[in-house]
Chain A
Amino acid sequence: GNSVTQMEGPVTLSEEAFLTINCTYTATGYPSLFWYVQYPGEGLQLLLKATKADDKGSNKGFEATYRKETTSFHLEKGSVQVSDSAVYFCALSDRWDTGNQFYFGTGTSLTVIP
């Protein structure tokens, strides 16, 4: 079956620190991979995505590369800001063309302190 495993939190970093949040997946087909972010008091919103192996998704300074050989999609940012404090969810989507459901990880809470 399909599943996503992501790094346990919470994570606390100082401003300008380097961020990595690990995500690995199990899929029966050829999924698309996503990172969603949930800021306090808001709904989940797409941060970045990658649709095939070796694709790199990027947005707002965040990056993640779709690694089929290691079934991973780790989220990275070179220099975090206080405004990046949020919960980050890794997700996969399979069978988009025939109808699908998204599979989400448990979320990693990030707090960035000044």
Chain B
Amino acid sequence: DTGVSQDPRHKITKRGQNVTFRCDPISEHNRLYWYRQTLGQGPEFLTYFQNEAQLEKSRLLSDRFSAERPKGSFSTLEIQRTEQGDSAMYLCASASYLPENTGELFFGEGSRLTVL
């Protein structure tokens, strides 16, 4: 098992363009989370999936953001019409949900977005 992988690691785009990030979680994990991290801040929750169902979305996730997890495996996070304020590190994490678990997230290394 290679852990959580994210692609691309770095993306530079011009304002107004669309970008898509991919996350491959640890294979047996049924929960997948997206977080955003800006410089000097901790990760901020965006959304999460349990299997293929998107169960919660933060108010940070504007209409320009959409996330999917088809078939409950990998996930994509798309940002349409990017703005400079979208520049951040986008983190993916996965977890194995069982009621007796106390909840440990396994993070990928992140996808850094720079919007010019």
Contact = CB atoms under 8 A, between A and B. Distances in A.
Interface in B1-54: 4, 33, 40-45, 48, 50
A51 B102 contact: yes
Nearest to B45: A101
A43 B45 CA distance: 16
A69 interface: no
A42 B106 CA distance: 12
Interface in A17-43: 32, 34, 36, 41-43
A82 interface: no
Interface string B104-116: 1111111000000
Interface of A: 4, 32, 34, 36, 41-46, 49, 51, 89, 91, 93, 96-97, 99-107
Interface of B: 4, 33, 40-45, 48, 50, 55-56, 58, 91, 93, 97, 99, 101-110
